[in-house]
Amino acid sequence: MPSTFQPRERVALAPFCTLGVGGPAHFFFEARDESGVVEALAWAQRRGVAFRVLGGGSNLVVADEGVEALVVRVAARGVEVREDGGAVEVTAAAGEVWDDLVRRAVEQGWAGLECLSGIPGLVGATPIQNVGAYGQDVSETVTSVRALDTTTSRVVTLTTADCGFTYRDSIFKSGEPDRYVVLAVTYRLRPGGAPAVRYAEVAASLERDGVAAPTLVQVREAVIAIRRSKSMVIEDGDPNRRSCGSFFTNPVVSAAHADQVAARAGDAAMPRWPLPGGAVKLAAGWLIERAGFRRGHRAGAVGLSTRHALAIVAYDGACARDIWAFARRLREAVRARFGITLVPEPVFWAPPA
């Protein structure tokens, strides 16, 4: 590694996270290409320093004490496009802004990402979380992931099968967390393909607008409008903007368990979505509200979004400990009321004991 590699020290991480909380990184480096990530890993390993990767910060909560690690912000950019058997394969560097890529695909008429419009963050995060919304998941289009294997210090290419995608999960998140650093992702899209209108809320929005045969652009606009109505698009001036979006995943349970939850709620019309294999997905936000936490509920400097019960919002004066405590209250209330333990979506760095 060149001796010129020199990370910065005691860099505040809060400005890099959408929640705007958290302490500093002991060491910090912004990698603008793959070689920078490789150099950073080698530097950390030689010195016995923990190694962490930061993307767009839209799915991350950093402890108030900060992290004793080298934090590498992946900022590599670049998009390559190639045609393949009537499809288009788009390879984007991990540091590309996700919604910019979605916008480009939609404008080019490439179907496959349109319902994932308006989601904050960078390309590198999409396979980790198996990002999805309004009936689409990135696992439907991801064909390969280029990554740095921190156990061997080699750059490898993982296939879709290698990624172990499941609902909001992958090998990168829970299978072998921290092993791989995503460097680039390849998506296979359909030129001239029809948009995915699988979600009732999107279909209803299009119907209200009198759109019977929607284009990709119209579906993207509908999705962004819905997200904006829930403060799920990060915009200046929105009092709910300091959040990680959905703080918990929607729980997946058996059909029998879903019936028990509906009985406890006393509501046979409880929202639920059947899944392959007989499982049922429930609405975490609905459970939170029925457990006694309405939209806009405040607990000091944190609370629920006024527009979405699944988003925890940080206000002026908030710290990471406030967010941990509030999230625990929500989980405990839902567990006590319905016997379901909600699973957080964000990554937690150095949470307090």
79-229 CATH: 3.30.465.10
pLDDT recorded at residue 276: 86
Give the C-alpha separation, 204 to 211, whole Å: 10
Q: What is the 3-state secondary structure (H, E, C) of the chain?
A: CCCCCCCEEEEECHHHCCCCCCCEEEEEEEECCHHHHHHHHHHHHHHCCEEEEECCCCCEEECCCCEEEEEEEECCCCEEEEEECCEEEEEEECCCEHHHHHHHHHHHCEECCHHHCCCCCEHHHHHHHCCEECCEEHHHCEEEEEEEECCCCEEEEEEHHHHCCECCECHHHHHCCCCEEEEEEEEEEEECCCCCCCCHHHHHHHHHCCCCCCCHHHHHHHHHHHHHHCCCCCCCCCCCCCEEEECECCCEEEHHHHHHHHHHHCCCCCCEEECHHHEEEECHHHHHHHCCCCCCCEECCEEECCCCCCEEEECCCCCHHHHHHHHHHHHHHHHHHHCCCCCECCEEECCCC
pLDDT for 353 beyond 60: no
pLDDT for 71 beyond 50: yes
Kindly indicate the confidence band of residue 86, based on its pLDDT and cuts at 50, 70 and 90: very high
Give the C-alpha separation, 303 to 296, whole Å: 6
pLDDT recorded at residue 228: 95
CB–CB of 138/187 below 8 Å? yes
pLDDT recorded at residue 2: 46
Structure tokens at 18: 């959408």
**CATH number, domain 8-74, options 3.40.190.10, 3.40.50.300, 3.30.43.10, 1.20.910.10:** 3.30.43.10
pLDDT recorded at residue 16: 97
Topology annotation, domain 243-349? 3.90.78
Encode pLDDT of 314-343 as tens digits. 999 999 999 999 999 999 999 999 999 999
Averaged pLDDT, 284-309: 97
Give the C-alpha separation, 194 to 110, whole Å: 9
Give the C-alpha separation, 260 to 266, whole Å: 10
- The residues assigned a catalytic role are 168, 246, 345
Residue 46 half-sphere exposure toward CB, CA atoms < 13 A? 9
Encode pLDDT of 173-226 as tens digits. 998 999 999 999 999 999 999 999 999 999 999 999 999 999 999 999 999 999
Which residues lie below 8 Å from residue 295, measured CB to CB, with a gap of 6+? 289, 304, 305, 306, 307, 308, 309
Encode pLDDT of 219-272 as tens digits. 999 999 999 999 999 999 999 999 999 999 999 999 999 999 999 999 999 999
Domain spans in the chain, listed from the N-terminal domain onward: 8-74, 79-229, 243-349
Q: Tokens 């919304």 sit at which residue?
A: 133
Encode pLDDT of 117-145 as tens digits. 999 999 999 999 999 999 999 999 999 99
Encode pLDDT of 269-285 as tens digits. 999 999 989 999 999 99
**Dihedral-angle region of residue 36 (phi above 0 means left; psi in -120 to 50 means alpha; beta otherwise):** alpha
CB–CB of 326/299 below 8 Å? yes
Share of the chain above pLDDT 90, in %: 94
pLDDT for 287 beyond 70: yes
Give the C-alpha separation, 353 to 340, whole Å: 23
Give the C-alpha separation, 15 to 59, whole Å: 14
Give the C-alpha separation, 165 to 174, whole Å: 10
CB–CB of 163/145 below 8 Å? yes
